[in-house]
Chains A and B, each alone.
Chain A
Amino acid sequence: MLLIHCPYCEEKRPELEFRHAGEAHVARPADIANISDAEFAHYFFYRDNPKGVAYERWRHIHGCGRFFNAARDTISDKFLTTYKAGEPKPELVEAANENKAEAQKGNSAK
């Protein structure tokens, strides 16, 4: 079982208490009534699907009930960090590079 650090409960809790809630940092356009259909589609439907670091919203639904953000590596499924909603995206360049190197190693081994 994965242990996920909840920034509000300030400790690691079992994944059963959490629920995934989509991509993080998707900003709602300020003038949503005036944007084109294509722009709206990009805001509403289009999501990143990175190999490597993904920024996601999670909710501690069976715990404190709070939404928070997490950076998760989609290759290893490891949580790199979690942070409170509203806080800026953390810089995770080093972690991302490390994982890329590992992934490349894995690819060349094949």
Chain B
Amino acid sequence: MADMQFSRELPLAGMMHGGPGVSISAAPEANRINLRAGDDALAGLSKGLGITLPKKPKTSASNGSRHALWIGPDEWLVIDEEGDPAADCAKVKAAHSAVDVSHRNTAILVSGPFAADVINAGCPQDLSLEIFPVGACSRTVFGKIEVVLYRTAEDAFRVECWRSFSDYAFEFLKDAARGA
């Protein structure tokens, strides 16, 4: 039998859009988990993941390539472009639920001085630096889809969306960037 090799391609692989005020590109592949846990499991999970899970709404914590985003009172999105958070959670004994959503989600990186304005074309949240500072994150709406927004720098955002909506999200951002 012929030797066959398979490689997985990201839904937005290689897509890029640049303009004077904003650049939009597909984020590199990453491992992600959706983590649900009660207060009594937090210490163990934080130790296992090597990151202190944030408890304050709209905040995140980072350690190297790993980022933990507060989504709800008992829910986090953990993103890691190098390590595998699901494997780390598997070693934790405390009761929790860690669902690997690496391939359900894909991400778009939006950066440049007009990044917030371009995202605001579809997102009703206040993205000013006072209200949505660097490191802030939130599940919210973008146009007609749900996204997780994460501010990685003053002028850079990571937009996490479901893969089947990624074309819509990318085209929406591209369209919004025409006005930037």
Contacts and interface: CB of A to CB of B under 8 A. Distances in A.
Contact of B73 (A11, A14, A62, A66): A66
A14 B139 contact: no
B161 to A, nearest CB: 12
A62 B125 contact: no
B72 A65 contact: yes
B153 to A, nearest CB: 22
A13 B125 contact: yes
Q: Is the interface of A mostly helix, strand, loop or mixed?
A: loop
Contacts, number: 39
Interface residues of A, number: 14
A106 to B, nearest CB: 31
Interface string A13-30: 110110000000000000
A16 B124 contact: yes
A17 B72 contact: no
A9 B57 contact: yes
A61 B57 CA distance: 15
B72 A64 contact: yes
B57 A10 contact: yes
B72 A8 contact: yes
B72 A14 contact: no
B73 A17 contact: no
Interface in A1-59: 1, 8-11, 13-14, 16-17
B141 A64 contact: no
B124 A64 contact: no
Nearest to A61: B146
Given A8-B72, A14-B124, A17-B141, A64 B146 contact: no
A90 to B, nearest CB: 21
Nearest to B70: A64
Interface of B: 57-58, 71-73, 75, 124-125, 138-141, 146
Interface of A: 1, 8-11, 13-14, 16-17, 62-66
25 contacts: A1-B124, A8-B57, A9-B58, A11-B58, A13-B125, A13-B140, A14-B125, A16-B124, A16-B141, A17-B141, A62-B139, A62-B140, A62-B141, A62-B146, A63-B72, A63-B139, A63-B140, A64-B57, A64-B71, A64-B73, A65-B71, A65-B72, A65-B75, A65-B139, A66-B73
